[in-house]
A = this chain, B = another copy of it.
Amino acid sequence: MTKIEEIKLEDLKPKKFIEQKINEISSIIGSGLAINALSGGVDSSAVTMLGHKALGEKLKTYFIDNGLMRQDEPGYVVTLFKKLGVHVEILDAKKEFFNALKGLTDPEEKREAITQTFYKNVFGQLVKKSGAKFLLQGTIYTDVEETIAGIKRQHNILEQIGINTEESFGYKVIEPLIQLRKTGVREVAKALGLPEKVYKRPPFPGPALVARVIGEVTPERVETVRKATKIVEEELSDTKAFQYLAILHEDRVTGIRDGKRDFGLQIEVRCWESKDALKGTPTRLPYDTLDKLAQRLTTEVAGVVSVTYNITKKPPSTIEAV
């Protein structure tokens, strides 16, 4: 296990960092082929641009449509990168992911199912077809820390926990952002010429909406939390908060619809003030905003009768629930 040195925000010189990483990537890969998966988040967007600048056509970028992303995400990502001169290919892997998640309720088992499906099934096949021996990936420093501490299993931490990806999956992983935290990545993304809506985009978890569904992950339950996520992002995007999210609970609670009992769904909203995701404080949202959130979530998302707002600091909470 290699020891990774953090580059603190005050020591980061984005232009120089980019230049250095472009050189590193070029020299490691040489005349070989690399592929990467772009999710649309700031980490994988920055890696895509770094890889594109270093490798040009020798990098194949894929958007893996796992059925677990935000609403309209595949089209949004492809269009955005087309404008930046990067071709992104969409791979429909919804069936593979939902099959792997069937019946699982334990958060660690769900994360493991995502990891295995992503690296072994979906990416393994892609790599074989493409002949690429290198995978570029947007792992950041916080992911490493949390996985080593045993808090959460990040789906992109493999070498750090002693998994040799060349042996297990047939390719080598390169992680150019691994010494940075989120704020550092945003600086780099900005310097790479990515638009503000990308470099300021709130973090989205590796296992995507799986991290926002308590209990079993089915297409229907993902659709519920996807609609809730859209509403929460619309209402809270002006807050400048570090991150905001909607969680679908498995617990049902009593509600009233048209004067009758409705044993319905509960959505939990979280909105965080944080610098680095290591510590966090719930944003002190105005009650008018909370009211609007509850009103929209209970009228626009089928089955929802109850909405809560999380008021716990991290620690002892974590940013995501699963």
Contact = CB atoms under 8 A, between A and B. Distances in A.
Nearest to A287: B284
Interface stretch (A88-96, A120-128, A145-153): A145-153
Contact of A322 (B150, B254, B269, B290): B254
Stoichiometry, copies per complex: 2
A251 B254 contact: no
A273 to B, nearest CB: 12
B311 A308 contact: yes
B317 A306 contact: yes
B287 A312 contact: no
B306 A310 contact: yes
Contact of A257 (B252, B260, B295, B315): B315
Given A256-B318, A318-B256, A322-B254, A261 B150 contact: yes
A293 interface: yes
B256 A151 contact: yes
Interface in A51-67: none
Instruction: Give the interface size bracket for A toward B.
Output: 35 or more
Nearest to A262: B316
Q: Main SS of the interface on chain A? A: mixed
B311 A291 contact: yes
Contact of A255 (B251, B260, B315): B315
Contacts of A308: 268, 308-312
Contact of A311 (B150, B214, B294): B294
Interface in A116-155: 149-152
Contact of A317 (B151, B305, B312, B316): B305
Contact of A290 (B269, B293, B311, B316): B311
Interface string A264-281: 100011000000000000
Nearest to A288: B284
B316 A260 contact: no
A250 B257 CA distance: 24
A320 interface: yes
- The list of the 7 closest CB pairs from A to B, nearest first, reads A308-B308, A256-B315, A253-B321, A290-B311, A284-B287, A151-B261, A305-B316
